[in-house]
Structure 1
Amino acid sequence: MSRYELLASIGFREKAKAGFVLRAIGPELNAPYARRSSTSVKIKNTGIVINIKSEDPAALRAAANSIINSIILSESVTEVK
Protein backbone atom coordinates (compact mmCIF):
# COMPACT_ATOMS: atom_id res chain seq x y z
CA MET A 1 0.00 0.00 0.00
CA SER A 2 1.20 3.50 -0.82
CA ARG A 3 2.28 5.60 2.12
CA TYR A 4 1.95 8.95 0.37
CA GLU A 5 -0.91 10.20 -1.75
CA LEU A 6 -1.83 13.44 -3.50
CA LEU A 7 -5.36 14.11 -4.74
CA ALA A 8 -5.88 17.30 -6.72
CA SER A 9 -8.67 18.73 -8.83
CA ILE A 10 -8.13 21.39 -11.50
CA GLY A 11 -11.11 23.11 -13.11
CA PHE A 12 -11.39 24.52 -16.62
CA ARG A 13 -14.07 26.59 -18.29
CA GLU A 14 -14.86 23.91 -20.85
CA LYS A 15 -14.88 20.11 -20.80
CA ALA A 16 -13.08 20.13 -24.18
CA LYS A 17 -10.12 21.91 -22.60
CA ALA A 18 -9.99 19.33 -19.82
CA GLY A 19 -9.86 16.63 -22.51
CA PHE A 20 -7.06 18.45 -24.32
CA VAL A 21 -5.02 18.70 -21.13
CA LEU A 22 -5.62 15.03 -20.34
CA ARG A 23 -4.36 14.02 -23.80
CA ALA A 24 -1.39 16.37 -23.48
CA ILE A 25 -0.20 14.91 -20.18
CA GLY A 26 -0.84 11.29 -21.23
CA PRO A 27 2.82 10.59 -22.12
CA GLU A 28 3.88 11.74 -18.63
CA LEU A 29 1.62 9.13 -17.07
CA ASN A 30 3.40 6.28 -18.85
CA ALA A 31 6.96 7.60 -18.67
CA PRO A 32 9.56 4.95 -17.81
CA TYR A 33 10.98 7.06 -14.99
CA ALA A 34 7.61 7.05 -13.21
CA ARG A 35 8.14 3.59 -11.69
CA ARG A 36 8.30 4.81 -8.10
CA SER A 37 4.82 6.30 -8.23
CA SER A 38 1.47 5.62 -9.83
CA THR A 39 -0.64 8.39 -11.30
CA SER A 40 -4.22 8.37 -12.51
CA VAL A 41 -6.00 11.27 -14.14
CA LYS A 42 -9.67 11.43 -15.08
CA ILE A 43 -12.11 14.02 -16.35
CA LYS A 44 -14.81 15.11 -13.94
CA ASN A 45 -17.32 17.69 -15.16
CA THR A 46 -15.19 20.47 -16.70
CA GLY A 47 -12.01 19.61 -14.83
CA ILE A 48 -9.50 16.87 -14.21
CA VAL A 49 -8.85 14.90 -11.04
CA ILE A 50 -5.27 13.78 -10.42
CA ASN A 51 -4.39 11.01 -7.97
CA ILE A 52 -0.71 10.26 -7.32
CA LYS A 53 0.43 7.47 -4.98
CA SER A 54 3.97 6.70 -3.91
CA GLU A 55 6.02 4.88 -1.32
CA ASP A 56 8.32 7.86 -0.68
CA PRO A 57 7.81 11.64 -0.60
CA ALA A 58 10.54 12.42 -3.15
CA ALA A 59 8.84 10.27 -5.79
CA LEU A 60 5.48 11.86 -4.97
CA ARG A 61 6.93 15.34 -5.37
CA ALA A 62 8.69 14.43 -8.62
CA ALA A 63 5.50 12.98 -10.10
CA ALA A 64 3.46 16.00 -8.99
CA ASN A 65 6.00 18.43 -10.45
CA SER A 66 6.04 16.56 -13.74
CA ILE A 67 2.26 16.54 -14.08
CA ILE A 68 1.87 20.17 -12.98
CA ASN A 69 4.55 21.36 -15.40
CA SER A 70 2.87 19.44 -18.23
CA ILE A 71 -0.48 21.04 -17.37
CA ILE A 72 1.08 24.51 -17.29
CA LEU A 73 2.72 23.88 -20.66
CA SER A 74 -0.50 22.62 -22.25
CA GLU A 75 -2.34 25.66 -20.87
CA SER A 76 0.21 28.06 -22.36
CA VAL A 77 0.05 26.30 -25.74
CA THR A 78 -3.73 26.69 -25.94
CA GLU A 79 -3.51 30.40 -25.15
CA VAL A 80 -1.06 31.26 -27.95
CA LYS A 81 -2.76 33.45 -30.55
Structure 2
Amino acid sequence: MLSFPSSDTTDRLSSFMCTFDDIVDVTTFHTDPEQQLNDVMAVKQEIFALPPYPNWTAVGVTWLAGFDFEIKVIARIP
Protein backbone atom coordinates (compact mmCIF):
# COMPACT_ATOMS: atom_id res chain seq x y z
CA MET A 1 0.00 0.00 0.00
CA LEU A 2 1.41 3.36 -1.04
CA SER A 3 0.72 6.49 0.93
CA PHE A 4 2.42 9.35 -0.83
CA PRO A 5 0.22 12.24 0.30
CA SER A 6 1.00 11.67 3.97
CA SER A 7 0.47 14.34 6.61
CA ASP A 8 4.27 14.59 6.95
CA THR A 9 4.61 15.41 3.24
CA THR A 10 1.76 17.91 3.41
CA ASP A 11 3.29 19.54 6.51
CA ARG A 12 6.70 19.84 4.84
CA LEU A 13 5.22 21.40 1.74
CA SER A 14 3.02 23.80 3.69
CA SER A 15 5.96 24.96 5.82
CA PHE A 16 7.23 26.56 2.58
CA MET A 17 3.73 27.77 1.59
CA CYS A 18 3.55 24.98 -1.04
CA THR A 19 0.98 22.33 -1.96
CA PHE A 20 1.12 19.24 -4.16
CA ASP A 21 0.33 21.59 -7.07
CA ASP A 22 3.79 23.12 -6.59
CA ILE A 23 5.65 19.84 -7.11
CA VAL A 24 7.59 20.10 -10.38
CA ASP A 25 9.79 16.99 -10.26
CA VAL A 26 9.34 13.51 -8.80
CA THR A 27 11.94 10.74 -8.70
CA THR A 28 10.93 7.31 -7.46
CA PHE A 29 13.38 4.55 -6.57
CA HIS A 30 12.16 0.94 -6.82
CA THR A 31 13.71 -2.31 -5.63
CA ASP A 32 11.16 -4.25 -7.72
CA PRO A 33 9.88 -1.97 -10.50
CA GLU A 34 7.81 -4.65 -12.24
CA GLN A 35 5.79 -5.26 -9.07
CA GLN A 36 5.66 -1.64 -7.86
CA LEU A 37 5.03 0.51 -10.93
CA ASN A 38 1.32 -0.28 -11.37
CA ASP A 39 0.60 0.83 -7.80
CA VAL A 40 2.83 3.88 -8.13
CA MET A 41 1.14 4.95 -11.36
CA ALA A 42 -2.32 4.58 -9.79
CA VAL A 43 -1.34 6.82 -6.87
CA LYS A 44 0.38 9.26 -9.24
CA GLN A 45 -2.82 9.63 -11.28
CA GLU A 46 -4.79 10.30 -8.09
CA ILE A 47 -2.44 12.98 -6.78
CA PHE A 48 -1.57 14.62 -10.09
CA ALA A 49 -4.97 14.29 -11.78
CA LEU A 50 -4.79 17.52 -13.79
CA PRO A 51 -2.05 19.25 -15.76
CA PRO A 52 0.49 20.62 -15.45
CA TYR A 53 2.06 17.33 -14.44
CA PRO A 54 5.46 17.19 -12.76
CA ASN A 55 8.42 15.61 -14.47
CA TRP A 56 8.63 11.99 -13.29
CA THR A 57 11.65 9.67 -13.29
CA ALA A 58 11.47 6.07 -12.06
CA VAL A 59 14.77 4.38 -11.18
CA GLY A 60 15.28 0.69 -10.53
CA VAL A 61 17.75 0.01 -7.71
CA THR A 62 19.06 -3.13 -6.04
CA TRP A 63 18.88 -1.84 -2.46
CA LEU A 64 17.43 0.94 -0.32
CA ALA A 65 18.29 1.41 3.36
CA GLY A 66 15.44 -0.52 4.96
CA PHE A 67 12.84 0.33 2.30
CA ASP A 68 11.47 -1.16 -0.92
CA PHE A 69 10.44 2.18 -2.40
CA GLU A 70 11.56 5.79 -2.03
CA ILE A 71 10.23 9.11 -3.36
CA LYS A 72 12.10 12.36 -3.86
CA VAL A 73 10.17 15.49 -4.86
CA ILE A 74 11.16 18.99 -5.83
CA ALA A 75 8.63 21.76 -5.38
CA ARG A 76 8.75 25.34 -6.57
CA ILE A 77 8.23 27.96 -3.90
CA PRO A 78 5.45 30.32 -5.03
Q: Between Structure 1 and Structure 2, which shows a larger proportion of helix residues? A: 1
TM-score, L = length of structure 1: 0.34
Q: Which has the higher contact order (CA 8 A, sep 6+)?
A: 2
TM-score, L = length of structure 2: 0.35
